[in-house]
Structure 1
Amino acid sequence: MIKHHARTALLATSLLLTGCGGGAATSASTTTSPVLPPAPAPSAVLSGGGAPGPRISVPAGRQQIAGLGPRTRAAVPATARQVVVVTGRDRDSPLSRVVLYEHTGSGWHAGPVWPAHNALRGWTDHHMSGDLRSPVGVFELTDAGGLLSDPGTRLPYDHSDDFTASGTGFEGEPLEGTFDYVIAINYNREAGTSPLDWIRPLGAERGGGIWLHVDHGGPTQGCVSLAEEHMRDLLLALDPDLHPVVVMGDRVSLSR
């Protein structure tokens, strides 16, 4: 279990204020990956929602991941051997899809396509607290946690009652169970701490608490949400030794 900072106890009263996981204090150091340069307004539409799609076939030896342009690929660390790709339907849509890619000796191989939600207003290259958009970029995945017990992930896992969610979402859907499983996205946070930690290296005004978490059936504050079974699958698959990252954004932004 990851040791909480003292500020974590305050989270229960403001969990959903500035992101899916809340937000607060600042710090000087960060391992946050840089956000990608701005992209033009989208002109293409990605199909989203519905049942999980088929497993994507990536030709053996092809050292690229489908849908990523040269600028996005260049932002992926050379050490990363697991890449979670979150592709938004369009710039202003809360619908997206998620695919886990893993690099083996024969190149990149992809898992199934999972439907997902992102923030209510879509995506942004410059996330700010309360903008109801998910940040576009490439970010490390180093820490996990949840209301439920560790399902067996190799990531450090904080099992805590502080992950309790209540109330309703933007479409009136109940939020209970939303944080049964979470994976912290290293946007404006300090790696190696609980997802509940409030340290915000870029400042509180830049938001934080951006997580992968259980889908509640509607748009998020800024996170990416998946069905609980898919969150569990992702937790079991991610391996810190493979330096996992998430590449996230609308389709056009990622294609640059």
Structure 2
Amino acid sequence: MPRPGPRASRRPPYTVCAALLLLLLLLTGCAAAGTAPGPGGTAPRPAAVRTGAHAPTGNAGAHAPTGAAGPGAVAARGPAAPTAPREIRMLGQTVRSAIPAESRQALVVTGNSPDSSEATAVLYTRDDPAVGWEPAAGPWPAHNALYGWTDEHRLNDLRTPIGVYGLTAAGGLLEAPGTELPYVQSPAFTASGEGFDGESLEGSFDYVIAIDYNRVAGASPLDPTRPLGEERGGGIWLHVDHGGPTQGCISLPEDRMEELLRILDPAKVPVIVMGDGAALAR
């Protein structure tokens, strides 16, 4: 008797349809909207994942979080910080603060040492407060008193007073070379005799600019008034250099005195800042 053949396996039609529908959902339902499967049929990770710290190389720049720069990106820069006005570098804060805010001309005379009679002068201007101080003339060689500098000048101590002082009047034996400062021409400015090194003093007062130490600002350099008293000395001038130390004044070459007289302008409230280097750095 022949064996019966294998029983035919039949599935109801609805079972096949359900399987096909499930397969279709598996192929399409896990892919992110708007994306297609990657090579080999593998769907790429959703965009929400690609933007994280572990985004694949090459996509970080396009999908980097706000504030994060991708490879090769140029970092955004904020507005540049404003530049502070220039200061006169060798001056310390204490000396700087002694310069009047309205001053726009400052002759800085820096002694070689506290006991030296040799110095260097540079004229600075501050025409634009936003820019600050800039050198305008010099450096020029200068002399000061025989024994150097002092914080408390006394009559005949042969030292030049340290500090910041106004320059408000001028004069001389010679006619003014052209200056905005009040200028007194007088034979009383005749100089004679010899300096400490035996040099002739003739012509030393051809041009002078009064330094407002222990004097009435704006008065003639010849005015004898001493507001601090006679014992504190006076008659401290800028004058023509005679080739050696002074008794307390500052001296410059004659052509430099002429140049200075032409440059100084009372409207710019000129001052002299003078002392040895260490004193000016305070």
State the TM-score bracket (shorter-chain normalisation).
Answer: 0.7 to 0.9
Pick the structure with more helix per residue: 2
2:258 is aligned with 1:235: no
2:158 is aligned with 1:126: no
2:209 is aligned with 1:186: no
Please name the residue that 1:203 is paired with.
229
Distance 1:150 1:188 in 2: 25
| TM-score normalized with structure 1 length | 0.76
Match of 1:109 among 134, 141, 148: 134
What does the per-residue CA deviation read over 1:93-149, in whole Å, with 9 as the maximum and x for residues that have no partner?
A: 000010000012232111220000000000000000000000000000000000000
Please name the residue that 2:106 is paired with.
83
Number of equivalent positions? 197
Please name the residue that 1:47 is paired with.
none
Distance 1:167 1:247 in 2: 29
Match of 1:139 among 165, 169, 194: 165
- 1:62, CA displacement in angstroms? 3.2
Please name the residue that 1:62 is paired with.
85
Whether the 8 Å CA contact 2:86–2:134 is kept in 1: the answer is no
Distance 2:172 2:190 in 1: 8
Alignment of 1:141-180 (within 5 A): 141-180=167-206
Q: What secondary structure does 1:205 align onto? A: helix
Whether the 8 Å CA contact 2:121–2:139 is kept in 1: the answer is yes
Whether the 8 Å CA contact 1:61–1:108 is kept in 2: the answer is no
Of 109-118 and 124-133, more deviation after overlay is shown by: 109-118
Identical-pair percentage: 61
Q: What secondary structure does 1:233 align onto? A: helix
Could you tell me which runs of 5 or more consecutive residues in structure 2 were left unpaired when the two chains were aligned.
Answer: 1-82
Distance 2:98 2:221 in 1: 23
CA RMSD of aligned residues (A): 1.0
Q: What secondary structure does 1:225 align onto? A: strand
| TM-score normalized with structure 2 length | 0.69
Distance 1:245 1:138 in 2: 7
Could you tell me which runs of 5 or more consecutive residues in structure 1 were left unpaired when the two chains were aligned.
Answer: 1-59
Letter in 1 for 2:119: S
